[in-house]
Chain A
Amino acid sequence: MTVIDVHRLRKRYGETTAVADVSLAVEAGEIFGILGPNGAGKTTTVECIAGLRKPDGGRIGVLGREPGDPALRRLVGVQLQESRLPEKMTVREALELFSAFYRDPADWRGLAAELGLTAKLRARFGKLSGGQRQRLSIALALLGNPRVAILDELTTGLDPQARRDTWDLVSAVRDRGVTVVLVTHFMEEAERLCDRVALIDAGCVVAVDTPGGLVSRVAAEQRIRFRPSVPVDERMLTALPAVDAVVRHGPQLEVVGHGDLVQAVAATLAAHDVVALDLRIERVGLDEAFVRLTGRGSREV
């Protein structure tokens, strides 16, 4: 089921075109990444989806409604980039206040516990670390038991550990059945977290695919090197459609191929009771795919 349908979205600010032509469809239950360099139009796109900005052109449907429909404010949770709370408001007060906005809110204590905020309930917003603020922000976005969560630049400014913790959290949100739209400029984040990614550059969608799919678009070729535990007949590998060539380097085998190469080779080896020792897989990462698809370097990685 399509939860968010964006068709040929356009948005300008004065002379600047923030979004030139964006179309994408987010399916129920997935983590959908919107990936691109700073200034690519990612935030504008999700702000239009969230009903915070009026598009200049194109159509947007969210759960079958138009953005700005008051009913959507109960169904969509939004975590905005750089949105802060009053310095002297405590975590608990924020959670209680935002709970009061919804008819049937989630249990804020449970949510706080899940997000590791229980020890901070009495702390004021101004005293929280960046990671704690993000977690509170996520908690507020989830208080209304939304069907869709829009999370903008969730991990920007967090240290690596806090970033990893936040990723686990987003996965947990998806596991609750929430469709997640994740805006990011971190390749690693998109690769680790997203089921599908829309690559946006200069206000246009360059590609929409799984992270693996994006990679294979630019990197048809993959290489696997390993030392077989017992001698193998190379023909059992060259017979596989995914394999293009097999090269022997002393005790090591190098298999060059495309598509689901790793799976195909692993399955064949297993079927012949061969163990791949010193296994090494060389493949292009999303980072490299991004550079090749947009024709330029990502500035942040």
Chain B
Amino acid sequence: MSVFARLIRSELRLFLREPALVFFTLAFPSVLVVILGSFPAFRERDDGLGGLRVVDLYAAISVVLTLAMLALQVAPMVLAGYRERGVLRRLATTPARPVALLGAQLVMSLLTAVTSIALVLLVARAGFDVPLPRQIPGFVLAVLLTAGAAFAIGLFVAALAPSGKAANTIGTLLFFPSMFFAGLWTPREAFPEVLRRLSDLTPLGAGERAVHEAMTGSWPAWGSVTVLVAYALVFGAAAARLFRWE
């Protein structure tokens, strides 16, 4: 097994030893769909939501929620923690490179995200007849772009935060407004026009829009793709410039 594969396995093993993280990232998005789907009113078609049901919307929101938790809360905490503990420095003295550990953490997060998103789609489909994404390549693209933007911001936080705890705090402070714009508390479809336009410019608002579009059968709109790519590039470049290994 290559060094990178071993690092990924090691990251995965450490992640699975954190029951709270495992619950929130792997189970909670699906649980949210189940809870909301249990209300009969949320299974009614609503013309105000474009003929969709609340539970349809929350399948897409839960997909974004998974990425947000992993990218904004887990990854910065783990990576800044590694720097704080001197793990990255220690790796720098071995033939392995610290950047490999960063990469392994991201791959581990993506594997977790894929599993959790698949679970959300299956639970929504099996429990509440939410159709599986009709535009599959478009859905994959939307998820990857949203992940790209969210993880770039997460890495930026990890670059700036002095400790794992600080990174988690900053990540959490970003998580709430970001998920508000993604419609976690009120779906974007119920937003007033101005708020929705504003939301389209936020990373997770644009992400939810792209995921939602792909789930209902169209390719993500250029507007949301552009916003997501811009966040990924700007924050990715800033993180790469500012990231300190010690």
The stretch that binds B, out of A84-92, A109-117, A189-197, A277-285, is A84-92
> Is A80's CB within 8 Å of the partner chain B?
yes
Whether A144 pairs with B14 at a CB distance below 8 angstroms is no
Say how far B230's CB is from chain A's closest CB, in angstroms.
34
Q: A78 and B93 in contact (CB under 8 A), knowing A86-B14, A100-B1? A: yes
A residues in contact with B17, CB < 8 Å: 88
Select which of B3, B93, B95 is within 8 A of A80 by beta carbon.
B93
A220 CB-CB contact with B under 8 Å: no
Q: Is B18 an interface residue (CB 8 A)?
A: yes
Pair A86/B87 contact, Cβ less than 8 Å: yes
Q: Does A161 contact B (CB under 8 A)?
A: no
* Interface size of B in residues (CB-CB distance below 8 Å): 22
Give the residues in chain B near A73, CB-CB below 8 Å: 93-95
- Quick check: A144 and B94 within 8 Å, CB to CB? yes
Instruction: Give the residues in chain A near B18, CB-CB below 8 Å.
Output: 88
The CA-CA distance from A209 to B236 in the complex, in Å, is 51
Q: Which residue of A lies closest to B1 (CB)?
A: A100
Residue pair A89, B10 in contact (C-beta under 8 Å): yes
Taking a contact as CB atoms under 8 Å apart, the answer to whether A98 and B94 are in contact is yes
Q: Which residues of A contact B125 (CB under 8 A)?
A: none
Give chain A residues whose Cβ lies under 8 Å from the Cβ of B3: 100-101
| Contact pattern, A 79-106, Cβ under 8 Å of B = 1, otherwise 0 | 0101111101100010011101111000
The answer to whether A97 and B95 touch (CB under 8 A), given A86-B87, A88-B17, is no
- Chain A's closest residue to B17 (CB) is A88
Contacts of B85 in A (CB 8 A): 83-86
Contact (Cβ within 8 A) A82 B10: no
- Hey, which chain A residues are within 8 Å of B93, CB to CB? 50-52, 73, 76-78, 80
Q: Do B89 and A80 have beta carbons less than 8 Å apart?
A: yes
Does the CB pair B89–A101 fall under 8 Å?
Answer: no
B13-38 interface mask toward A, CB cutoff 8 Å, 1 = contact, 0 = none?
Answer: 11001100000000000000000000
Distance in angstroms from A275 CB to nearest chain B CB is 53
Q: How far is the CA of A140 from the CA of B86 in the complex (A)?
A: 14
Kindly state whether residue A251 has any CB partner on chain B within 8 Å: no
Given known pairs A84-B86, A86-B14, A88-B14, the reply for A52 and B7 (CB within 8 Å) is: no
A93 and B89 contacting across the interface, CB-CB below 8 Å: no
Residues of B within 8 A of A86 (CB): 14, 81-82, 85, 87
Contacts of A76 in B (CB 8 A): 93
A93 CA / B17 CA spacing, docked (Å): 13
Question: Assuming the A-B contacts A88-B18, A100-B6, are A83 and B87 also in contact, with contact meaning beta carbons closer than 8 angstroms in the complex?
Answer: yes
Task: Tell me the smallest distance from the CB of B203 to a CB of chain A, in Å.
Answer: 29
A160 within 8 A of B: no
- When C-beta atoms are compared, the residue in chain B nearest to A143 turns out to be B94
Which partner residue on chain B sits nearest A94 by CB separation? B10
Bound-state CA distance A83–B7 (Å) is: 18
A127 to chain B, nearest CB (A): 13
Q: What A residues does B1 contact at CB under 8 A?
A: 100
Contact (Cβ within 8 A) A101 B86: no
Tell me if A74 is interfacial: C-beta within 8 Å of chain B.
Answer: yes
Please name all residues of chain A whose beta carbon is closer than 8 Å to the beta carbon of B10 when the two chains form the complex: 89, 93, 97
Of A70, A83, A102, which contacts B89 at CB under 8 A?
A83
CA–CA, A77 and B93, complex, Å: 7
Query: How far in angstroms is the closest Cβ of chain A from B17?
Result: 4
Chain B 118-140 per-residue mask, 1 if CB under 8 angstroms from chain A, else 0? 00000000000000000000000
Tell me, in angstroms, the Cα distance from A50 to B6 when the chains sit together.
25
Contact of B13 among A93, A100, A101, A103 (CB under 8 A): A93
Write the chain B residue with the least CB distance to A96. Answer: B6
Interface centre among A50, A83, A96 (most CB of B within 10 A): A83
- Interface residues, chain A, with chain B CB atoms under 8 Å away: 50-52, 70, 73-74, 76-78, 80, 82-86, 88-89, 93, 96-98, 100-103, 140, 144
A-B CB contact pairs (8 Å), 18 listed: A50-B93, A51-B93, A52-B92, A73-B94, A78-B93, A80-B86, A80-B90, A83-B85, A84-B86, A86-B81, A86-B85, A88-B18, A93-B13, A100-B3, A100-B6, A102-B95, A144-B94, A144-B95
**10 pairs of A and B residues whose beta carbons are closest in the complex:** A83-B86, A78-B93, A84-B85, A101-B96, A88-B17, A83-B90, A101-B94, A100-B6, A73-B95, A101-B95
Given A83-B85, A83-B89, A98-B94, 5 other A-B residues pairs in contact with their CB atoms under 8 A? A76-B93, A78-B90, A80-B89, A101-B95, A103-B95
